[in-house]
Structure 1
Amino acid sequence: MSADERRESAVRAAITEFARGGYNGTSTEVIARRVGVSQPYLFRLFPNKQAMFLAAAERCIADTRQAFADAVEGLEGDEALHAMSEAYQRLIVHDPDRLLMQMQMYAAVAAAEAAGDHEFGESLRAGWLRMFDDIALALGADADKATAFLAYGMLINTLTSLGYPAGHRVWSGFRDPDAPGA
């Protein structure tokens, strides 16, 4: 396996491990073990634990952006909105570690900021802003629609994380008002 393939494998492993254990609760030894490499080799791929976390977090954002881009290809308006919503739901249902990793990103940046490290979250904020801009463009360059989409996305994250089943009353705001029986 090439160094690039090992690095890719390490990023995937880091997403899984950081998603489940958080930044402070995840050891690089666990990531190395999941990848099947030694810890010293892992540090040849990444200079430190922070770089591993940021690579995993940046990949999580990039994969979400790509899912949205793939979903809206050739679509506009409400069709694009619904396609992105469905793509996001598939992403977090089929790979729950993606949702957990997002939450760990927010927690890690907040903790770093509280400790005075204001640089830690710069690349994540930049990636999130690119995602916001992508969403706004897909929705007709409408920042208000992008904001509403992301607000609903955060609500979906919360409801999913808390384990509310799809038919629960807390999901009522997501029901199509024109659907039979709504």
Structure 2
Amino acid sequence: MAKSDTTSVNRKSDIISAAIAIFAEVGYFRATTAQVAERASISQPYVFRFFATKEALLLAALEASWNRVIESFRKVVETTAPELLETELVQEYVNIQMKYENEMLLQMQAQTIRETAIQQTMRSAYKEIRDLVLTAFRDAGVENAEERSMLFLARGVLCNVAVAINLPELMKG
């Protein structure tokens, strides 16, 4: 890859990272591309070089955040003994929450945005995670794999709420 191509990829990544932070801090609807540009230390027109709209930027930010979760879960599934799978997946999600809290807050916000493309992105991501976990649980011989998968996802959502509202008691149990 040529140096300018590498620089473009890095700048696009910087813009997505800045967008995740800004959207998490002030909310998608209150956030501006000018704020994202300032956080990324670039000009606002440069943001539009990569993303035609703020919605396109949000979609890229969501894709990056969901890909992190999906790839992390895939690694756990590929490297964990069946009897430890559920415990290790839970621990991996806790690690992701702690390290990438803004991404989790972004995903939570996106659940309430009614635009079709955003809803489709959220549906696809949840479906992919559910299918990944369900298949892994079935392959590992987890009893009631469907119910355990649903409870795993529900626990993740509850943990997100607990972190977002600073109520850690919700995660105990």
- TM-score of the alignment, normalized to the shorter chain, above 0.5: yes
In structure 2, the residue matched to 1:31 is 36
Structure 1 residue 147 and structure 2 residue 150: aligned? yes
Q: 1:90: how far off?
A: 1.0
In structure 1, the residue matched to 2:136 is 138
Unpaired segments of 5 or more residues in structure 1? Answer: 174-182
Q: Matches of 1:143 and 1:5 in 2, distance apart?
A: 40
Structure 1 residue 68 and structure 2 residue 73: aligned? yes
Q: Matches of 2:159 and 2:128 in 1, distance apart?
A: 21
Q: Which string of whole-angstrom CA distances, capped at 9 and with x for unpartnered residues, describes residues 137-163 of structure 1?
A: 221263322111001111212222222
1:15–1:56 contact (8 Å) kept in structure 2 = yes
Q: Which string of whole-angstrom CA distances, capped at 9 and with x for unpartnered residues, describes residues 87-114 of structure 1?
A: 1111111222122112111122xxx2xx
Within the candidate set 102, 122, 128, 1:124 is matched to: 122
Q: CA RMSD in A?
A: 1.8
Q: Matches of 2:43 and 2:54 in 1, distance apart?
A: 14
Q: Matches of 1:153 and 1:33 in 2, distance apart?
A: 33
User: Any runs of at least 4 consecutive aligned residues in structure 1 with deviations exceeding 6 A, and if so which?
Assistant: none
Q: 1:119: how far off?
A: 3.7
In structure 2, the residue matched to 1:81 is 86
Within the candidate set 146, 161, 164, 2:167 is matched to: 164
Q: Matches of 1:139 and 1:56 in 2, distance apart?
A: 29
Q: 1:164: how far off?
A: 2.7
Q: Matches of 2:103 and 2:116 in 1, distance apart?
A: 24
Q: Matches of 2:33 and 2:171 in 1, distance apart?
A: 38
Counterpart amino acid of 2:160?
N
Structure 1 residue 51 and structure 2 residue 56: aligned? yes
Q: 1:8: how far off?
A: 1.0
2:104–2:160 contact (8 Å) kept in structure 1 = yes
More helix by share: 2
How many percent of aligned residue pairs carry the same amino acid?
Answer: 26
2:24–2:103 contact (8 Å) kept in structure 1 = yes
Deviates more, 1:130-139 or 1:45-54: 130-139
In structure 2, the residue matched to 1:95 is 100
Q: Matches of 2:23 and 2:88 in 1, distance apart?
A: 29
**Cα distance change, pair 152–78 in 1 and its aligned pair in 2 (3 A):** farther
In structure 1, the residue matched to 2:3 is none
Unpaired segments of 5 or more residues in structure 2? Answer: 1-5, 140-144
